[in-house]
Amino acid sequence: MIDIREADPTSDALRPVVEAHFAHSETAGPAESNHTMDASALAGPGMRFWALYEGNKVLGCGALKALPDGTAEVKSVHILATARGRGLARVMMTHLADHARVEGTSALVLETGADHLSYYDAARRLYEALGYSYCGPIYGYEADPNSAFMRLDLKPAE
């Protein structure tokens, strides 16, 4: 059974998934375009972090960063390589959207690799399938040829 729990990204139990995400991002594009947060940043002010478990085994993670414009940035969605292909990234992304909607967030935004960085093809296809649309640079970013920015407007929870 899959379970998503709010968690501390600096904990020893979550170190492998956070480090795997950081390592994955470091190899995906140029260093100047890498906006991956380390565990201490993921535990910082305005951040909410969740771990995805199957039983007691951590399989992935995801986070939201509250932004001053009423949106939240999706950060550090990662599924361990051994658990990929099961739709778990979609499960995490849906969890983040549901949580943000309940909290009254107006939209989710994200930065990912641009279309010439094929490393991010699967991620962009998932975001598109979930209803995200491409947009200009989001809060805190500047235009970057290695970045694609996306937005999902959220309707209030009923």
Average pLDDT over residues 4-9: 96
- Percent of the residues in the chain that have a pLDDT greater than 90, as a whole number: 66
Q: Return the domain boundaries, the chain.
A: 2-153
The tokens describing 51, both together, are: 């771990």
Residue 105, Cβ density class (10 Å: 0-12 exposed, 13-18 middle, ≥19 buried): buried
72-79/57-66 β-pairing: antiparallel
What's the rounded Cα separation, in Å, for the pair 24 and 19? 8
Mean pLDDT of the chain: 88
CB 147 within 8 A of CB 112: yes
Higher pLDDT, 40 or 128: 128
| Residue found by looking up tokens 């260093």 in the block | 31
CATH code: domain 2-153 is 3.40.630.30
Compute the distance between CA of residue 123 and CA of residue 147 in angstroms, rounded to an integer: 13
State mean pLDDT over 149-158. 86
At residue 35, does pLDDT exceed 60? no
Is residue 129 pLDDT above 90, yes or no? yes
